[in-house]
Amino acid sequence: MKKGIIVSFEGIDGCGKTTLVRKFYNYLKSQNLPVIILHEPGGTLIGEKIRKLLLSKNLNITKFCELFLYLASRVQLVEEKIKKNLEEGKIIILDRYIDSTYAYQGYGRRIPLVFIEKVHQLVIGKKFFPDITFLIDEKPENLVEILKRKGKDRIEKESIEFQKKVRNGYLQLVKKNKKIKIIKRQNEQDTFSKVLELWEQFINENRRNKKFIIKIKGKK
């Protein structure tokens, strides 16, 4: 079976993931590689409706309802977009994916990780787990100003204590999963250089791996 690559970007709210995703996409495009960006929650018609619900400011959503809505959006995205693009051999860049659920609903809301893990294994399947994840790490205290400027949504309105739990969750995940590469947030250019460095490493490690069909050029 043809196989593309799933690359996800993760981090707490306001860490600058979305800008990096855009830069990384432009970089891969400039190398003439087949690439697509998807974001979560959302990315499909149904997913975008779920996204509106999830991010509405004044809704009192219970933690399990929240979990299942994120999962519902994800399943739809996998079925509609990820499967097809992966089979076509594309590099799929995801602005948030499975690890957001571990970090926010697992570590943040204290839903047992084993439960979240099980649902992902059963409903999504390991084949669609990320091949590499970039975690942009920053202390929530340093992002308060950015979030104020952005105009907060429901989750971003959570206390700094919640964001600390989420960050700590991400740091725990790094210890358990070698595919997650941690990147300390610096200025945009330096953070992006680090993304490229880790990407090159990943490519070199997998150059002879038949799993990926994409012929990726290394640094010239």
Question: Is-contact 21 93, C-beta < 8 A?
Answer: yes
Helix runs in 56-211, H state only: 63-77, 83-87, 98-100, 113-119, 144-150, 160-176, 188-206
Q: Counting contacts by CB under 6 A, is residue 100 touching ligand TYD?
A: yes
Residue 10 interacts with ligand TYD (CB under 6 A): yes or no: no
Starting from the edge strand earliest in sequence, which strands make up the sheet with 91-95, in order? Answer: 35-39, 91-95, 5-11, 132-137, 180-184
Nearer to ligand TYD, 85 or 105 (CB): 105
Binding residues among 133-152 for ligand TYD as defined by CB under 6 A: none
Of the pair 4, 43, the CB lying nearest ligand TYD is at 43
Q: Does 85 bind ligand TYD (CB under 6 A)?
A: no
Q: Are strands 180-184 and 35-39 parallel, antiparallel or unpaired?
A: unpaired
- Select from 6, 13, 93, 140 the one that contacts ligand TYD (CB under 6 A): 13
Contact between 131 and 90 (Cβ < 8 Å): no
- Nearest distance from C-beta of residue 96 to ligand TYD, angstroms: 4
Chain residues binding ligand TYD by CB under 6 A are: 13, 17-18, 40-41, 55, 70, 96, 100-101, 104-105, 153, 155-156
